[in-house]
Amino acid sequence: MKIYKAYIFRMYPNDYQKEIINKSFGISRFIYNHFLEEKIKEYKNTKKSKSAYEQIKEIPSLNIEYPFLKEVDSCLLRCSIFDLDNAYNRFFKSNFGYPKFKKKGVHDSYKTNNIISTYKGKEYNSIRLDLKNRLITLPKLKELKIRGYRNKIINGKIKSAVIRRESTKYYVSVLVEENIVVPIIKPKNIIGIDLGIKDVIITSYNEKIENKFKKETLNKRLKGLQKGLSRCIPGSKNRYRLKLKIQRLYMKLKNIRKYLIHDITNKLVNENDIIVTEDLDIKNMKSNKHIARPLTDIPLSEIIRILKYKGIWRGKKIYQINRYFPSSQICSICGYKNQKIKDLSIRKWECPKCHSNHDRDYNASYNIMFEGLKIYMKGLV
């Protein structure tokens, strides 16, 4: 099975390399904004806009108009156009209007593809990793020192790299195509998972994983810093210092979040052979204000996405049941459907038919587990 894995390294460019990287950020942003403006103008006039391939054809004339474009890796110009195309199509489908223009200092990054060429029977890659000597080779930058994945052997084809800066640190994320052998597993156990807000995960093994994603103290500090920033004089040293502090805090929150997601999903995939969850209504969630604040939000869709790929790679069965399935209303003992439980404030209830006592969330997770079992059994017939 072919999979794509991203390896993220801290990168230590020298001053000259930093200069090129920062220039590349600027040019990537310039291309993105230039073609976004073109797309918007065109759409307003003709209700249509050019595809990425059509826009790429404009690069040579743009190179003449803006000679500085030739100072960086030419691949990043194309990548930036494709990046814009993806963002544009995504926004268009979701009826959110147009994507935003990129601003300097906000998510500074650029992408480049690995170009493979052969010369005299020898293969050359524009992006190369040397983990033993902790080096990466990137177009226009040559060799850079990296850190990370010390004892790892990466066997696969490098597809692309994204170079980014977070506060004063530089990172490179290398996308690798790998071939893995998925083990064939005869399932021995099954788990049903109900997803919630107060507890993020409620399992059919009567476990509740509470919401640790809200880092109140860090969020409070962030708000305080942002207030301070608004009081600073634009362009002052103080403002710059505060900005760096805010970026660092953002990074810290992001890392905590990432760690928690991997911790939860690793545990679930390690301990269970069949994992059943609900299919979340992503569209509905997007209009939810929680999603607009990704740092305080509980990343449910991210948990499911990671759970899915980790499970599939390990030969586990991952099922998602229909979101209209009334998992909270059904009595998991006798199957009676209790309409009253629609009310979210009811946490505990007694089944009017068989008089079993239920905890709302555990009962839902049992029902989800049974639904998953049905799907599995159907597959066996």
Q: Which of residues 320-349 bind Zn ion (CB under 5 A)?
A: 331, 333-334, 336
Please report the DSSP string for 164-178 in residue order. EEETTEEEEEEEEEE
Is residue 357 near Zn ion by the rule CB under 5 A? Answer: no
- The answer to whether the CB of 251 falls within 8 A of the CB of 257 is no
Q: How far is the CB of 370 from Zn ion (least distance, A)?
A: 13
Asked if 352 touches Zn ion (CB under 5 A), the answer is: no
> Which candidate, 272, 254, 256, places its Cα nearest to that of 207?
272
Number of residues binding to Zn ion, judged by CB under 5 A: 7
Of the pair 112, 332, the CB lying nearest Zn ion is at 332
Active-site residue, selected from the candidate residues 73, 194, 273, 371: 194
Residue 6 within binding range of Zn ion, rule CB under 5 A: no
202 binds Zn ion per the rule CB under 5 A: no
353 interacts with Zn ion by CB under 5 A: yes
- Choose between 220 and 348: whose C-beta lies nearer to Zn ion: 348
The answer to the question of residue 30 lying near Zn ion (CB under 5 A) is: no
Kindly indicate which of the ranges 80-88, 225-233, 304-312, 351-359 contains the residues binding Zn ion, using the contact rule CB under 5 A: 351-359
What is the smallest separation between the CB atom of 371 and Zn ion, expressed in angstroms? 17
CB of 364 to Zn ion, least distance (A): 14
x/- string (CB under 5 A) for Zn ion, residues 147-186?
A: ----------------------------------------
Active site residue 297: no
Beta carbon nearer to Zn ion, 266 or 357: 357
Nearer to Zn ion, 288 or 357 (CB): 357
Catalytic residue among 85, 273, 278, 297: 278
Q: Which of 144, 178, 172, 179 is nearest to 158 (CA)?
A: 178
Angle 216-231/237-271 helices, nearest 10 degrees?
A: 160
Report if residue 350 touches Zn ion, rule: CB under 5 A. Answer: no
User: Among candidates 208, 239, 171, 141, which has minimal Cα distance to 360?
Assistant: 208
**Residue 194 annotated to the active site:** yes
In 3D, which of 318, 322, 325, 288 has the Cα closest to residue 303?
318
Q: Which amino acid is at 149?
A: Y
How does DSSP assign 20-64, residue by residue?
HHHHHHHHHHHHHHHHHHHHHHHHHHHS----HHHHHTTHHHHHH
Q: Is 278 a catalytic residue?
A: yes
Q: What is the rounded end-to-end Cα distance, in angstroms, of the chain?
A: 25
Report the residue number, 256 or 333, with the smaller CB distance to Zn ion. 333
What is the DSSP code (8-state) at residue 71?
A: G
Chain mean position to CA 378: 33
Query: CA 109, CA 28: separation in Å to the nearest integer?
Result: 8
User: Where do contacts with Zn ion occur on this chain (CB under 5 A)?
Assistant: 331, 333-334, 336, 351, 353-354
State the catalytic residues: 194, 278, 361
